[in-house]
Structure 1
Amino acid sequence: MRNEDRRDRLRMALIDAAEATIAADGLAALKARDLAKEVGCALGAIYTAFPDLDALILTVNLRTLALFERAITEVTIAPPPTGAASPAERAAAADTLVRLAVAYLHFAAENPARWRALFQHRITHALPDWYLVEQVRLFRYIETPLQVLRPGLGDRERALLARSLFSATHGLVSLGLDEKLMVLSEPVLRGQIEIVVGALGRGLAEG
């Protein structure tokens, strides 16, 4: 077997093992020595497949983002109309923002350890371009209904608004699911999201 093939097999084994550990026990449980033992390699061999543990964690987080994308693709997102949006189209776009936010809540509640790992991991260097590209692409799910609600916004302003809406939703979900603060049931959290994001969406629709 070629060295490249061995490295690729080791890389996949490490990703699978790290993903299973994070999903079951959280990011704090991920240790390089335990990973090496689980996949049957030397500790130093990990760094022939990945430059550092950060890169491995980001690769696992990329899988988590792909899972999240599958969840939000269940939300029907109508493309922006070619002309001025009708009141019904604007109302539907506002409702889409709520349904996207609720889908985010469901994903976080069903995959708490994976979800937390997306935000708990801190790296000392800049995020790699391939990871940033995926983040930007996912935000476009929010930007599409915003094109209906705020057609006059430029790309940069729309992207910033999408991130603001996400931040509002993430704040509600983070506080509601935080075991150290106030754990709220999913129906209660959903009600909060529907009130807050719904009000923001209606404001945009009527503005």
Structure 2
Amino acid sequence: MSAAREELAATGAHLASLGLSPGSSGNLSIREADRVLITPTGADLAALDADGLSVLDLDGTHLAGPRPSKEFPLHTAFYRRDPTTRAVIHLHSRHAAAISCRPAWSEHSALPPITPYYVMRVGQTPLLPYAPPGDAQQAADLEQLPFPFRAALLQNHGPVVSGTSLTAAVDAAVELEETAALLLALGQSPARLLTTDETRVLADRYGTPWSPGGRCAADGDHGGGGDQLGSHTG
């Protein structure tokens, strides 16, 4: 059994233990050279069989193992989009799924820069318009977005995140869920966002994507106080 298979199974159990994969929801993949190991359709992440994973090529052709998750087009889109991507995680985690039902904060990110850790570990997270689960066109739209990102929210559905390792993807998925929970806890209360300069410094330092000119903290802000969440939720 390969180390990648064992790592994928262990990661599924870890995410389930955190409550981020209710029932048989969610799917994971890891890239090995020009092959993708992905969880099968209907798999319970809490009890993955490391020997029973699906194997695809980068175009999504099913090569071996059971039938893959219907969401495999999202996974292969991330791998084709960025050759440094080594893992993809799609969850139905409660708070991120709730945020996906709201309008995006900006064109480039569904969530604002509310904490440094969201910028450091996730970066801008576009909201993809609703499509049925497994929709190939939604995956094609994700692949072709003309700005950098490592995570996205699927409207009325949930998060999908990528990483240069499975550990990095898990960290991003957890941080995205925590950021979403924080935003929901704040509701419509006024809240300070990171300023444009503060966000840029973090993104540059940690190599995370945040597009200049996106609706980052208000450039009209004076005194470094940051944007106010209450006026930027629509």
Q: Same fold (TM over 0.5)?
A: no
Instruction: Report 1 or 2 for greater relative contact order, CA contacts < 8 Å, sequence distance ≥ 6.
Output: 1
Under a length normalisation based on structure 1, what TM-score does the superposition of the two structures give? 0.27
Under a length normalisation based on structure 2, what TM-score does the superposition of the two structures give? 0.25
Radius of gyration: which is bigger?
A: 1
Point out the structure with the larger strand share.
2
